[in-house]
Amino acid sequence: MKKILVLCAAIAMAVLPTFAAKKTITVGIINNDPNESGYRTANDRDMKNTFTKKNGYKASFAYSLKNDEQIAAARKFIQDEVDYLLISAAGTSGWNSVLKDAQDAGVRVILFDRTIDADPSMYEASIVSDMAEEGKTAVNWLAGQGLDEYNVVHIQGVMGSAAQIGRTGALDEKVKAESNWNLVTQQTAEWNAETAQQIVQSVIDSGKKFNVIYAENDDMAKGAVAALDKANISHGVGKDVIVMGFDCNKWALEELLAKRWNYDGQCNPFQASYIDAIIKDLEKGKAPAQKTVIMQEKGFDAKTITKADVNKYGI
């Protein structure tokens, strides 16, 4: 019996250092304001549900819709000596200096949700949406509606963000190329429903004719529709104004299902599991299998969307 106890104690002592050596990975997560949109709320929730103590992480979060504030937060995380810096950038430019600081400090950087203008050697990986492709998919769908004339109220997101640049770019190209495509107005509502409503109300008050609302997220589309309803202007399938949004909030897809909206472009917010897998590989000394992971996304048409689509893809 004594020999068995001694053997058990020896095994325990051999195993104990293995458990003691298990490292808690520290991450500094820089994101946009979670109240910005339903997409951002889902994205933030996904990050918080993944980067937990139970999953081996100590996570700190910083939020801002302003690039300079995000960069300041990144510098603070670097000073705090986090292991990883996860960034969803408010703007695409201005990141080179802080990424160099992170590299010099041995802090590994992973981008999520949005791209930035920086050499790929400055970060380990990016898990992002192809915002330009989202814009092309939406504009191609709109072109397929076969209108004699496209008079578009274009409501943009935060200027300089990857989402705004991508979703704007495709529409700008089409308007430039086609004589029957016109921008009635092109203004930023910075993802905000109330501001979008004011923009559309101003167009209505001006008496300018329009037949398309191209809003770069669902919340702004919702605000635009509020202005249309107030003015008794019909919208949706077979109505006076085509309504387009992005992000695929469940409530927005239900608007398509009811045929009150016409189109919604998917933007997949669930990047955390990809980042987790990449970090776990890096901790084992394995380079990411892909430097850039593009989230799979699609567009939905009110004429073909199903209840199953709403339940599966709504966020």
pLDDT at 48 over 80: yes
Q: Tell me what pLDDT residue 180 has.
A: 98
pLDDT at 108 over 80: yes
Q: Which tokens go with 295?
A: 């989230």
Residue 96 backbone dihedrals phi, psi, to 5 degrees: -55, -45
Cβ neighbours of residue 229 under 8 Å, at least 6 residues apart?
A: none
For the stretch 113-157, pLDDT in tens is 988 999 999 999 999 999 999 999 999 999 999 999 999 999 999
Q: Tell me what pLDDT residue 21 has.
A: 52
Residue 305 backbone dihedrals phi, psi, to 5 degrees: -65, 145
Residue range 184-201: average pLDDT? Answer: 97
Q: Tell me what pLDDT residue 230 has.
A: 98
Q: Which tokens go with 119?
A: 């050499």
CB-based burial of residue 24 (10 Å sphere; 0-12 exposed, 13-18 middle, 19+ buried)?
Answer: exposed
Residue 298 backbone dihedrals phi, psi, to 5 degrees: -145, 175
CB 184 within 8 A of CB 190: no
Q: Tell me what pLDDT residue 36 has.
A: 84
Task: Give the pLDDT band of residue 164 (cuts 50, 70, 90).
Answer: very high
Q: Tell me what pLDDT residue 47 has.
A: 98
Q: Is the pTM of this model over 0.85?
A: no
pLDDT at 2 over 90: no
Task: Give the pLDDT band of residue 4 (cuts 50, 70, 90).
Answer: very low
For the stretch 71-98, pLDDT in tens is 999 999 999 999 999 999 999 999 999 9
For the stretch 265-309, pLDDT in tens is 999 999 999 999 999 999 999 999 899 999 999 999 999 999 999
pLDDT at 202 over 50: yes
Residue range 224-252: average pLDDT? Answer: 98
